[in-house]
Amino acid sequence: MAKQSSPSPSPSPSPSPPRRQTLPPTPQYVEVNCASSGMKRRFAVGTDAGFAVALVNRKLKGKVVPASHIEAVKDGEEPIAFGPTSFLSDFGDGWKLQTVTLTDLSSGKSEEWTISTDENAGTGAGGSVSIGEIYEEATVRVAGVPGTARSVSNPITFVYIVKIMFAFILIFVLGAIFTLFLDNLPAFILFLKSI
């Protein structure tokens, strides 16, 4: 018996597909540096900026100034502000996300800036408000950010108590008038029938 040798299939030299260069995976989160506390908070890419600000403000402890909004900053570049419904995203190398507080807005050269309060701002008609005035008005509540109210005036005053007492007296007077009317209604009906 002779051994039969079968021709073994040799691999044909086919060109292998070129390997794609794999880029490092992009992070699925963005880091926001809190200007008040110095802590970094991580949020998923696409998180609403208003939600992020509210969450950062909730985690602040003590007498720390709350954040008003988030900005992307880079040395030598104009900051990019995120509105409350903007999605948080990473702008690439050198850009960092950080919170902005009301004291940041009112400090230094920002006092020169004014914000128009009228639709006809370019025409010279209408007024303008300085950043300092906005800061004074916004110390109680940061606009658009839930949960940042810090001080509430005392709603119970002498006038409030007098109004409540007057309301009770008025209720009792009206009740007495209605009761007297119902007590005398049968006699009044008999009087009308006799006429």
Residue 35 burial (CB count, 10 A): 18
**Residue 57 φ/ψ, nearest 5 degrees:** -65, -35
Residue-level pLDDT at 26: 65
Indicate the DSSP class of residue 30: E
pLDDT at 88: 87
Q: Which of 105, 31, 109 is nearest to 67 (CA)?
A: 105
pLDDT of res. 170: 97
Strands 29-33 and 40-44: antiparallel
pLDDT computed for residue 57 by the predictor: 84
pLDDT at residue 188 in the model: 93
Residue-wise pLDDT tens for the chain (195 aa)? 555 555 555 555 556 666 666 666 666 888 898 887 888 888 888 888 889 888 888 888 776 788 888 999 998 889 888 888 888 888 888 888 899 887 766 554 443 344 444 444 444 444 454 444 544 444 444 444 554 445 556 778 999 999 999 999 999 999 999 999 999 999 999 999 998
Place of tokens 């128009």: 116
Range 29-138 classified under CATH 3.10.20: yes
Give the per-residue pLDDT at 155: 79
Tens of pLDDT, residues 23-37: 666 668 888 988 878
Q: Cβ(65)–Cβ(102) under 8 Å? A: yes
Structure-token pair, residue 69:
């909004």
Whole-number pLDDT of residue 161 = 94
pLDDT at position 125 is 46
